[in-house]
Amino acid sequence: MKIAIAQINTIVGALRTNSDKSIQYINSAYEKGADIVLLPEATITGYMALDLLFNAEFIKDNIKELHRIKENIPKDIVAVIGFIDEENDKLYNSAAVMQRGKISGIVRKVKLPVYDVFNELRYYTAVSNTKPVNVNIKGKQVHLGVQICEDMWDETNNNVTSRLASEGADLILNISASPFQVGKKSVRERLVSKHAKENSIPFFYCNLIGGQDEVVFDGRSLAADTNGNLIHISPSFKEELSVIDLEMIDPLSTLTPSMQDQHEDIFNAIRLGIKDYIVKSGFDSAILGLSGGVDSSLVAVLAVEALGSENVTGISMPSRFSSEHSKSDAELLANNLNMNFKTLPIEDPHKSFLALLEDDFHGKSRNETEENLQARIRGNILMAFSNKFGYFPLATSNKTEMALGYATMYGDMAGGLAPISDVSKTKVYELCRYYNELKGEEIIPLSVLSKKPSAELSEAQYDPFDYDVVSPLVDELIENGSTKAQLLEKGYDEDTIDKIIFMIKKSEYKRRQAPPGIKITTKAFGIGRRMPLINHYNGI
Amino acid sequence: MKIAIAQINTIVGALRTNSDKSIQYINSAYEKGADIVLLPEATITGYMALDLLFNAEFIKDNIKELHRIKENIPKDIVAVIGFIDEENDKLYNSAAVMQRGKISGIVRKVKLPVYDVFNELRYYTAVSNTKPVNVNIKGKQVHLGVQICEDMWDETNNNVTSRLASEGADLILNISASPFQVGKKSVRERLVSKHAKENSIPFFYCNLIGGQDEVVFDGRSLAADTNGNLIHISPSFKEELSVIDLEMIDPLSTLTPSMQDQHEDIFNAIRLGIKDYIVKSGFDSAILGLSGGVDSSLVAVLAVEALGSENVTGISMPSRFSSEHSKSDAELLANNLNMNFKTLPIEDPHKSFLALLEDDFHGKSRNETEENLQARIRGNILMAFSNKFGYFPLATSNKTEMALGYATMYGDMAGGLAPISDVSKTKVYELCRYYNELKGEEIIPLSVLSKKPSAELSEAQYDPFDYDVVSPLVDELIENGSTKAQLLEKGYDEDTIDKIIFMIKKSEYKRRQAPPGIKITTKAFGIGRRMPLINHYNGI
């Protein structure tokens, strides 16, 4: 028996496009001799459609497409397709099993996630149990244990997988939309292996690929044999049709679980996130401010790798406080990347704002007001270029800055996407070094990586943080949810902990108005972290 | 038996403050001879604490406060207090019934809402059933049928209320955090009456008051007798302790259900929403741009009513395209309101931006770029005043504009709160007229209400919409979820419907970065409407 895994890139709402692509992949799978083909969760609607699911026409249209697929695929292949089923005004996240122009069975999702970015109980009704779907493959009855994404993340006794096996399933087929997150690939491998081994059943896992809003689905579909050995791993971050012949497994060739390769994975996740967000939004080019600093340098690199150097424009917008090396570093980076580059000094609008405000601000001492003013002039220029030339504007804040509120709303926070807002300051440096190593040359000038971080918004200003302490501390608080007691035990200074917690809490309002980012960690700012704006608790 | 309803204004996270206020109100209730006192849902933590609930210290601290309250209130009163209970790592939205320094019973919430702004299944576990709590009042056993908010919104057969009644409850006591929404007060009255009548049981309903992030809780607590007659209605939008003597009800004096008084309610809801958002954020004054248009005029009026005229500053920021009457109308309004006012013409920064961009924009025709530029210069000035003087910045977009994307990100959308972003253009006019009538004079100059709407961002520019058609059409689409077929039947033109749907969908990215608004309708933009940013469906 041959099983095909079609990890395709769907688009939320693109019912016809997603269905046409499904038909095309099912045909290819058939041509390659597959008996069964799996497509990802919510194949037809795309994932996550959120409140679009409340549109009754949308649900009807998704069911029409399901039937259109059924009628336009070869009769001799079994296709497992994700769609949204409806019955008595209730919605079910479902998989349809099709064969011979008919729907042989519909399986509904048992486990509906509501943690982090997920909110499925807002939309769907859970079912308490499922049964295998019987199909005929080359004259033999085969019982397919179909399940959907979270159903696999159930390790209780009597879990979804073991119940399907005990109901007589011959194979487990899981269709998923599991977002990328550092370290998650090993967890998925462990789960697929474990379920396969515990139930002595082959396990096939088809995961979505592509960027959708704040998440990137990494694909990396899997298969395991009845001993729990991994027998297949699809590539990450690209569409792929893989066909696995269950009769042809050489036990010696089974794969060992993945080693972590964080930098490559993070880089590729963000690259795909940028590309899909921009292209699916109808843009083909991007613009960003280049300060000569490490954050904008990394975003430039990622944008060039996502869109091509000819489609990315960097603007250096020096003020009276910008150092010579910042200007030259920005230009050198742009030249190294072969991207479009221009310089627009902000001195004139800067002067005119200061003059306009002079009377009212007379006698008040200089504070962050004058700094934010410059950042917002830059934001305005960036948006003007975006509006005039149709360039998609990219913001360059990193996660550590976003946590601390060390960023200007409507200034450097301006943009349609903030690609590195889930990347800590420490990781920003690591990714820059990773890229230079990958390319074997100093694409990002070494001076960018070695100079002291500065916003250059006033005389001799440097970032008021020791990032070696603060960057991991923010990660501890946000990603690990560490308590103060735990952090003290790890050796963090109490005053620093209190100050950082206070800063994170105080800047919640800024993050509320931030552009969407690309999630790469267990906890990104954005839809997966829903903190109150008014919050008088002495903690986060 | 005397039952007190303490509808207090809590603050999310202010555990100690909320508890101290609870103790104070319980003492007052006791002094007024009450046997039982009700406080609102989640009394101790405030509502809605969102992901703060994932902080284990926060939950522990809330339970500590519960016990502190218990030990600091008179022994001879029964207090029903909302808190978050925890057991085996599961959280329960709960009510504690206290008497004689002890907790007589804990009741957990049965119905956990996940629609609109609610997301309780993300945090809490539901219980399937509850039992009355027995207390001793003046030597007699009384069975309290305690329930929490949504438990009352259950009209199925065998609903939460009827089950409590059949389990022997003598009274129903519902503690709630039900946000204001036009028309909701009648629904609550109907539900309280219906449950009381159907079960021949007195029903007491205590609702939270106060603004929290995007919602305003309106209070307006209720009581009904065993015939379902309303015997008490607390005031809307203010803290109040009411004591109802069950033995002293004169059936002739029972209250008739409320008539709608939309304008007064909406005005008061937004006023409280502004005040609480700003004050709970630690500010005491506000600033906004005054264009001489109807939207900024209404926001100025609301801000002055919320904070006092001495605490509100309006800035007129005329450009080369501003008409004389816009400037004079802005000043006249400010004078009528006795608020602070200043004029800062944006011509100089405007000119300097145009000069800076001249070379790059050469040969490109004028488009929205040049318009957004001006709006963003104004946003920058507003934010500079906010940063320098600590004024809270208010944005002035209305719901119709926000729906259509007829607003500039980082420009007129800049601010910490957008008070009228859930008020349609039609309602903006109505509220202005309501205010002038209330005051008996033209506080808002008639010319503001009679002139043709214009953003004045280019020569002889007027808003490209017939708001008489478009404003209700947007409400049909967003608030009523009307389908195209339904709208055609109502007489809307097909091209207009398609165009408006397209514009709503296309501008989702702007709303994603908008300041929080104040919800007054069934469906506001913000946390209660979670649409995908990437959305290729031909609908919303």
Instruction: Give B235-248 pLDDT, tens digit per residue.
Output: 999 999 999 999 88
Instruction: Looking at the structure, tell me whether residues A174 and A210 fall in a common domain.
Output: yes
Chain A residue at shortest CA distance from B417 = A509
The owner of tokens 């088809």 is: A206
Confidence of residue A324 (pLDDT cuts 50, 70, 90): confident
Give the three-class secondary structure for A349: helix
Q: Give residues 476 to 515 of B whose Cβ lies within 8 Å of A.
A: 481, 483-484, 509, 512-515
Kind and range of the H or E run holding B292: none
The owner of tokens 């085969």 is: A142
Chain B residue at shortest CA distance from A480 = B55
SS3 for A9-42 is: ECCCCCHHHHHHHHHHHHHHHHHCCCCEEECCCC
Instruction: Looking at the structure, tell me whether residues A140 and A27 fall in a common domain.
Output: yes
Tell me the torsion sign for CA atoms A141, A147, A152, A156: negative
Looking at the annotation, which residues of B are catalytic? 41, 109, 149
Per-residue pLDDT, B251: 64
Instruction: Looking at the structure, tell me whether residues A282 and A232 fall in a common domain.
Output: no
CB of A121 within 8 Å of any CB in chain B?
A: yes
The count of domains in chain B is: 2
The CATH number of residue B255's host domain is: 3.60.110.10
Say what the alpha-carbon torsion angle B33, B34, B40, B46 is, to the nearest 10 degrees: 40
pLDDT at A31 over 90: yes
Instruction: Looking at the structure, tell me whether residues A252 and A304 fall in a common domain.
Output: no
The owner of tokens 């349809």 is: A96
CB of A111 within 8 Å of any CB in chain B?
A: no
Amino acid at B478: I
Angle at A115 between CA A109 and CA A118, to 5 degrees: 60
Q: Per the structure block, which two tokens stand in for A498?
A: 């209190």
Instruction: Measure the CA–CA gap between A265 and A256, rounded to whole angstroms.
Output: 18
Q: Is the peptide bond before B402 cis (omega within 30 degrees of 0)?
A: no
Q: Give residues 378 to 407 of A whose Cβ lies within 8 Å of B.
A: 379-381, 383-385, 387-389
A36-38 vs A2-7, strand pairing mode: parallel
Catalytic residue among A2, A21, A70, A109: A109
Judge: A357–B381 Cβ closer than 8 Å, yes or no.
yes
CA distances from B307 to A446, B214, B235, B288 (A): 53, 18, 21, 13
Instruction: Looking at the structure, tell me whether residues B49 and B183 fall in a common domain.
Output: yes
Residue B251 covered by a domain: yes
Angle at B453 between CA B473 and CA B501, to 5 degrees: 25
CB of B248 within 8 Å of any CB in chain A?
A: no
The CATH number of residue B444's host domain is: 3.40.50.620
Please tell me what DSSP assigns to residue A121. Answer: G
pLDDT at A258 over 70: no
pLDDT at A252 over 60: no
- When the pLDDT of each residue in chain A is averaged and rounded to a whole number, the result is 96
Report the candidate in B404, B395, B410 with the shortest Cα–Cα distance to residue B425.
Answer: B404
Give the three-class secondary structure for A145: strand
Helices (H) and strands (E) in chain B, counts: 16, 18
Residue A404 covered by a domain: yes
Per-residue pLDDT, B253: 67
CA distances from A235 to A192, A202, A501, B486 (A): 16, 20, 39, 47
CA distances from A266 to A156, A420, A423, A426, A430 (A): 31, 10, 9, 13, 11
CA distances from A245 to A5, A249, A254, B428 (A): 11, 7, 13, 66
Q: Per the structure block, which two tokens stand in for B32?
A: 């007024």
Task: Tell me the mean pLDDT in the region A523-537.
Answer: 97
Per-residue pLDDT, B38: 98
Per-residue pLDDT, A463: 84
Instruction: Measure the CA–CA gap between A230 and A253, rounded to whole angstroms.
Output: 9
Residue A198: CB atoms within 10 Å: 14
User: To the nearest whole percent, how much of chain A has pLDDT over 70?
Assistant: 98
Nearest to B410 among A12, A49, A379 (CB): A379
Please tell me what DSSP assigns to residue B394. Answer: B
Residue B537 covered by a domain: no
CA distances from B26 to A184, B19, B85, B245, B488 (A): 51, 10, 21, 16, 56
Give the three-class secondary structure for A413: coil
Residues 6+ apart with CB under 8 A from A85: A63, A91, A92, A94, A106, A108
Task: Tell me the mean pLDDT in the region A206-215.
Answer: 98
Please tell me what DSSP assigns to residue A415. Answer: S
Per-residue pLDDT, A327: 86
Nearest to B532 among A48, A115, A369 (CB): A48
Per-residue pLDDT, B258: 66
Instruction: Looking at the structure, tell me whether residues A183 and A51 fall in a common domain.
Output: yes
Is residue A167 within 8 A of residue A198, CB to CB? The reply is no
CB of B535 within 8 Å of any CB in chain A?
A: yes
Nearest to A372 among B383, B416, B537 (CB): B383
Q: Per the structure block, which two tokens stand in for B468?
A: 């008489």
> Of A213, A242, A260, which closes a domain?
A260
In sequence order, the β-bridge partners of residue B241 are B6
Give the three-class secondary structure for A177: coil
Instruction: Give B257-298 pLDDT, tens digit per residue.
Output: 666 678 999 999 999 999 999 999 999 999 999 999 999 999
Task: Tell me the mean pLDDT in the region A473-499.
Answer: 95
Q: Give residues 514 to 533 of A whose Cβ lies within 8 Å of B.
A: 514-516, 527, 529-533
Instruction: Looking at the structure, tell me whether residues A162 and A238 fall in a common domain.
Output: yes
Instruction: Looking at the structure, tell me whether residues B323 and B193 fall in a common domain.
Output: no
Confidence of residue A460 (pLDDT cuts 50, 70, 90): confident
Residue A531 covered by a domain: no
Residue A525 covered by a domain: no
> Of B195, B226, B260, which closes a domain?
B260
Instruction: Measure the CA–CA gap between A81 and A103, rounded to whole angstroms.
Output: 10
pLDDT at A51 over 60: yes
Instruction: Measure the CA–CA gap between A190 and A209, rounded to whole angstroms.
Output: 20
Is residue A432 within 8 A of residue A396, CB to CB? The reply is no
Q: Per the structure block, which two tokens stand in for B231?
A: 């015997």
Task: Tell me the mean pLDDT in the region B227-239.
Answer: 95
Instruction: Looking at the structure, tell me whether residues B191 and B293 fall in a common domain.
Output: no
Residue A536 covered by a domain: no
Residue A83 covered by a domain: yes
Instruction: Measure the CA–CA gap between A18 and A61, rounded to whole angstroms.
Output: 12
- When the pLDDT of each residue in chain B is averaged and rounded to a whole number, the result is 96
Instruction: Give A375-406 pLDDT, tens digit per residue.
Output: 999 999 999 999 999 999 999 999 999 999 99
Q: Which residues in chain B are closer than 8 Å to A14, comparing Cβ atoms?
A: 536-537
Residue of A348, A410, A486 to mutate for B, most B C-beta atoms under 10 A:
A410
- How many C-alpha atoms does A343 have within 13 Å on its Cβ side? 16
Residue B470 covered by a domain: no
Per-residue pLDDT, A259: 65
Instruction: Looking at the structure, tell me whether residues B181 and B251 fall in a common domain.
Output: yes
- Which conformational region is residue B282 in: left (phi greater than 0), alpha (psi within -120 to 50 degrees), or beta? left
Catalytic residue among A2, A70, A111, A149: A149
Per-residue pLDDT, B248: 83
SS3 for B217-247 is: EEECCEEECCCCCEEEECCECCCEEEEEEHH
Angle between helices A368-389 and A347-361 (to 10 degrees): 140
Per-residue pLDDT, B519: 98
Task: Tell me the mean pLDDT in the region B433-438.
Answer: 97
Is residue A300 within 8 A of residue A444, CB to CB? The reply is no
Instruction: Looking at the structure, tell me whether residues A364 and A235 fall in a common domain.
Output: no
- Which conformational region is residue B440 in: left (phi greater than 0), alpha (psi within -120 to 50 degrees), or beta? left
Task: Tell me the mean pLDDT in the region A517-523.
Answer: 98
Q: Per the structure block, which two tokens stand in for A20?
A: 């046409």
Is residue A111 within 8 A of residue A150, CB to CB? The reply is yes
Instruction: Looking at the structure, tell me whether residues A224 and A278 fall in a common domain.
Output: no
Q: ipTM of this complex > 0.90?
A: yes
> Of B241, B260, B279, which closes a domain?
B260
Domain that holds residue A185: 2-260
Instruction: Give A441-458 pLDDT, tens digit per residue.
Output: 999 999 999 988 888 888
Instruction: Give B23-46 pLDDT, tens digit per residue.
Output: 999 999 999 999 999 999 999 999
Examine the residue annotation and report whether A206 is marked as an active-site residue of this protein: no
